[in-house]
A and B are shown apart, each in its own frame.
Chain A
Amino acid sequence: MTKKNSSHKSAGFSRRALLQAGAATLGAAGFPLPAIAQTKPFAGVTLRGASFQHRFFTLLQNYIPEFEAQTGMKVDLQLSAFPVYNQQANLELSSGGSAFDFVNVTFILAARWVAAGLLANLDEFTGDPNLTPAEWSPKDFVEGAQVPYRDAKGATYGYSWEGGAMVMGLSRMDLMEKKGLKIPRTFAELQQVCTEINGTDNVNGIVSFQLHHWCLPPYIQGFGGNIFRKPPADIMPTLNSPEAVQAVDYYANLLKNYAPKGVLTYTEDQARQSHMTGRSNIFIHSSAWITPILLSNDSKVKDTSRVVRMPAGPVHDYPAANSQGLGIPKHAKNKKAAWEFIKWALSPEISMRLVKEHGHSSVCRRSVIESEEYRKLNTVNGQDLGALYLEVLGLPAKGDNYMAYRTVKEFPIVGDVLNKAFEQVATGQLAAQAAMNAAQEQAVANLRRAGTTL
């Protein structure tokens, strides 16, 4: 009986509870409680972001629906080709537009945008515990990757999502071993390996691509020179220094004698393809372009490849490093909402998922890169790619920031002149000294024309 009553009572309670719950739901829908509103403070906001096309964003788009479900926001992410994006974002930011809530802060434009005050200071977000929990930890980002996004006072205007650490990939170690060649550690050894391998089994000694102002400076610095006298404070170009001339001559000879035909117009994709198919032995570029010889399913040279530090010059060992970051335009309409997105996209959790689920290893979270899982996934043929990546990426932040030349806002002007001069040398139009003298003159004239005081 008790049981029956109990059952009856239980059934009556259920009906009443159901009615009450229904009424409460309807009431809540009509008059949302503050507690509910606070869980999704940006619900209904459409975030507009832009970047150039990159695997990171292609992968991130798989996770964005989760962010949208968590926050009630909608993310409209516009991805364009690299030059198209840079032009569009440059115009948008420079004209004080508010079309985008978050943007990619392209490495080569970062200094220009930061110096011109076109981006929001992210310290205002990271410094507020209500906006950024302590576990998000801004200091977890690899120091070298964060350098481009800081102004002279140390304020941060971007957080890096991609690190580029220049490493050397060797795709035909089998050929090298047959000839008794070791992995080159110096520029002289690099030239020797290229000489020995080029033409063997139809393999080119080295491959590169058309962005010479990215590939060439490590050689200039390796010989003891630089692009500017003492960047970022003194940006007088030093393109015709004896060291720079020597480096241009050296690198031009490498490409002229040991690279595939047409290498001067090669894109990164073409170079990578030549490398992954074993048609070219050496490729020196950012790790994201080199490690596919070991990690990609398309690689035909997985078993005969090594990825190591690029050779050192007679004076210095300065492999290039860069990064790409996410930032918020100064005049963005939804700054706080945009910060929510950046926080989420660059969180340790998402970074780790990118590594684990997609093998995307060029993330910038130190805690992720140093994790056991990352190490396991990125150790191939006994080579710890993560350790190498972290080592190179962190170099600019140690002591002299040798990548400072690339972060000054005038670099694109000088870089273009350097590109032209290098091509003139590599195609035999001018000798290295003459080309670099002309380049120096042109760079100074162009900088002055652009209003730079030297």
Chain B
Amino acid sequence: MSGEGLVDAERRRFNRLALAPSLIVLFVIAGLPAIYLVVISLTPFQLVNPGSSTDFSSPLRNYLLLPGDPRFVNSLWVQAKLSFWGVLLQVLFGMLLALLLHTQSRVVEFARTLFLIPMVLPPIVVAIIWKLIYTPDISPLYYAASLLNVTMPSLTSSVDFALSAIIIADTWEWMPFTFLMVLAALQTIPEEFSEAALVDGANRLQIFFYITLPFITPILVISGMFRLIDSVKAFPLVFLLTGGGPGSVTEVTNYYAYLLAFDFNEIGYSSSVTIVMLLLVVAVSLGVVWMGRRREAMA
């Protein structure tokens, strides 16, 4: 082996050694619980029957039951609707807000800070705020509507509005994330491009579609993907605003998994639901990584 080859081998060895502690910690923190979850999902484990945690007589039983469980299938569909509309609105309104506040002024700077508040609030606080807004007896929204002689249905217990109510609250909470990402992207666009386009006679709309949008598209996609992954965590809103109801209209998959584990004690079955959810999230995450690499390759 040449001297350069030896140096490379040494460097690789050093890198491996340097990475090892982090990898071990990561494995213990994230890997082991995930493995345990997979193992438990292969059993009919119930809390009140501890012996069932080592019953591997029918390891695929839980997974085979999943397609025939209407609540599980429904929960996936509810999750898909919540994620799609939530992410779409967050990206759209976040972008519009960023375009609106992409100017230099003290007032605008203050407004930017103000708009970030929902994102930094603890999720349970957000849920309580919206619980107050959606409760007809005490809500300023309903009071204002009554002054205008408008009769509003109870949003969280209405079949037609319950999911929308959660999407609105989720959008309010997380729109600042997209707003922040897009604002950062907007600030990297060289002024010269817009100025040149203006000189060439382009109007504001054309500048947006031919210069701004191509620049911020990768950011929109990436932030959308991040929000898509995160949208699975809309648990506090569902828990506090609707409890999954009315019926199963707002019962997302993680809420169903929670009920299975903690209300019905079916830890094994709940684990299998969680594993399926985990796989779906991993698939989306891989999509994000792939897009990130593609973007780097294109750059």
| Chain A interface (Cβ < 8 Å from any Cβ of B) | 83, 86-87, 90-91, 94-96, 112-113, 115-116, 118, 210, 260-265, 270, 273-274, 279, 409, 412-413, 416, 419-421, 423-424, 426-430, 442, 445-446, 449-451
Asked if B50 contacts A262 (CB within 8 A), the reply is no
- Interchain CB contact under 8 A, A112 and B48: yes
CA distance A286 to B121 in the complex (A): 37
User: Is there an interface contact between B49 and A429, defined as CB atoms closer than 8 Å?
Assistant: no
A404 to chain B, nearest CB (A): 19
A262 near B157: Cβ-Cβ < 8 Å: yes
Partner of B242, one of A118, A263, A265, A428: A265
Q: Is the CB of B47 within 8 A of A94?
A: yes
Asked if B47 contacts A427 (CB within 8 A), the reply is no
For this complex, 5 residue pairs linking A to B, each with C-beta atoms less than 8 Å apart, are A87-B262, A261-B136, A261-B153, A262-B137, A427-B249
Contact (Cβ within 8 A) A260 B137: yes
- Selecting from B20-28, B203-211, B264-272, the interface stretch reads B264-272
Given contacts A446-B264, A450-B264, contact A262 B136 (CB under 8 A): yes
Q: List, in ascending order, chain A residues with CB within 8 A of B50's CB.
A: 94-96
> In the complex, are the beta carbons of A265 and B264 less than 8 A apart?
no
Within the complex, which residue of A270, A445, A446 is in contact with B137, where a contact is CB–CB below 8 Å?
A: A270
Q: Which listed residue, A210, A264, A451, touches B46 by the CB 8 Å rule?
A: A451
- Expressed in whole angstroms, the Cα–Cα distance for A263 and B157 within the complex equals 8
Quick one: given A261-B136, A270-B137, are A429 and B265 in contact (CB under 8 Å)? no
Asked whether A262 and B159 contact (CB < 8 A) given A416-B259, A449-B266, A450-B266, the answer is: no
Which residues of chain B come closer than 8 Å to A90, judged between CB atoms?
Answer: 47, 262, 265
Bound Cα distance A413, B71 (Å): 13
- With both beta carbons as reference points, the residue of chain B lying nearest to A210 in the complex is identified as B243
Are B246 and A423 closer than 8 Å at their CB atoms?
A: yes
B123 at interface by CB-CB < 8 Å: no
1/0 per residue B48-71: CB within 8 Å of A?
111010000000000001001111
Task: Kindly report which residue of chain A lies nearest to residue B259, judged by CB atoms.
Answer: A416
Asked if B135 is at the interface of the complex by the 8 Å CB criterion, the answer is yes
- B158 is an interface residue with CB less than 8 A from chain A: yes
Alpha-carbon distance A118/B50, docked complex (angstroms):
11
| Least CB distance, A379 to chain B, in whole angstroms | 32
> What distance in Å separates the Cβ of A80 from its nearest Cβ neighbour in chain B?
13
Assess the A91–B47 pair: CB atoms within 8 A.
yes
Contact A262 B156 (CB under 8 A): yes
Knowing A262-B157, A442-B71 touch, does A426 contact B135 (C-beta < 8 A)? Answer: no
Decide if A429 touches B246 in the complex (CB within 8 Å): yes
Bitwise interface map of B from 107 to 143 toward A, beta carbon under 8 Å scored 1, else 0:
0000000000000000000000000001111000000
- Within the assembled complex, what's the spacing in Å between the Cα atoms of A116 and B265? 13
Instruction: Please state if B159 and A451 are interface contacts (CB–CB under 8 Å).
Output: no
B292 in contact (CB, < 8 A) = no
Q: Which residue, B154, B156, B245, has most C-beta atoms of chain A within 10 A?
A: B245
B5 within 8 A of A: no
Min CB distance A200 to B, Å, is 18
Q: A274 contacts B137, CB within 8 Å?
A: yes
CB distance from A279 to the nearest CB of B (A): 8
Q: Does B248 contact A (CB under 8 A)?
A: yes
On whether A429 and B159 interact (CB within 8 A), knowing A116-B49, A412-B263, the answer reads yes
Interface residues on B, range: 35 or more
Could you say which residues of chain A place their CB within 8 Å of the CB of B248?
A: 420
Q: List B contacts of A94 (CB < 8 A).
A: 47-48, 50, 265
* Minimal beta-carbon separation of A163 from chain B (angstroms): 24
In the docked arrangement, what's the CA distance between A421 and B137, Å? Answer: 26
Given contacts A416-B264, A420-B248, A424-B247, contact A265 B47 (CB under 8 A): no
Question: A residues within 8 A CB of B266?
Answer: 449-450
A423→B247 contact, CB < 8 A = yes
The reply to whether B263 and A416 contact each other, CB–CB distance below 8 Å, is yes
Residues in chain A near residue B137, CB distance under 8 A: 260, 262, 270, 273-274, 279
Judge whether B94 is part of the interface by a CB distance below 8 angstroms.
no
B176 partner residues in chain A, CB cutoff 8 A: none
Q: Are B246 and A116 in contact (CB under 8 A)?
A: no
Assess whether B86 is interfacial by the CB under 8 Å rule.
no
* Contact B157 A427, beta carbon cutoff 8 Å: yes
CB contact under 8 A between A409 and B48, given known A261-B154, A264-B157, A420-B247: yes
List chain A residues, Cβ under 8 A from B68: 445
Question: Could you tell me the distance between the alpha carbons of A426 and B162 in the complex, rounded to whole angstroms?
Answer: 14
Assess the B158–A427 pair: CB atoms within 8 A. yes
Q: Which residues of B contact A260 (CB under 8 A)?
A: 136-137
Query: Which of B44, B136, B246 is within 8 Å of A427, CB to CB?
Result: B246
Query: Roughly how many angstroms separate A430 CA and B134 CA in the complex, as a whole number?
Result: 24
B262 touches A262 (CB 8 A): no
Q: How far is the CA of A94 from the CA of B265 in the complex (A)?
A: 10
Task: Check B157 against A265 for contact (C-beta < 8 Å).
Answer: yes
Chain B residue at minimum C-beta to C-beta distance from A91? B47
B48 in complex: contacting residue of A118, A264, A423, A446, CB < 8 Å:
A118
Give CA–CA (A223, B271) in the complex, Å.
40
Chain B residue numbers with a CB within 8 Å of A96 are: 50
Instruction: Kindly state the separation between the CA atoms of A125 and B170 in the bound complex, as whole angstroms.
Output: 53
**Residue numbers in A under 8 Å from B247 (CB-CB):** 420-421, 423-424, 427, 429-430
A450 to B246, Cβ gap below 8 A? no
Contacts of A426 in B (CB 8 A): 246
| Binary per-residue interface labels of chain B (237-281) against chain A in the complex, 1 for a CB within 8 Å, 0 otherwise | 000011101111100000000010011111001000000000000
A428 to chain B: which residues have CB within 8 Å?
159
CB neighbours (8 Å) of B243 from chain A are 210, 265
The chain A residue with its CB closest to the CB of B242 is A265
Specify which chain A residues have a CB less than 8 angstroms from the CB of B265 in the assembled complex.
90, 94, 112, 450
Once the chains bind, are A427 and B159 in contact (CB under 8 Å)?
yes
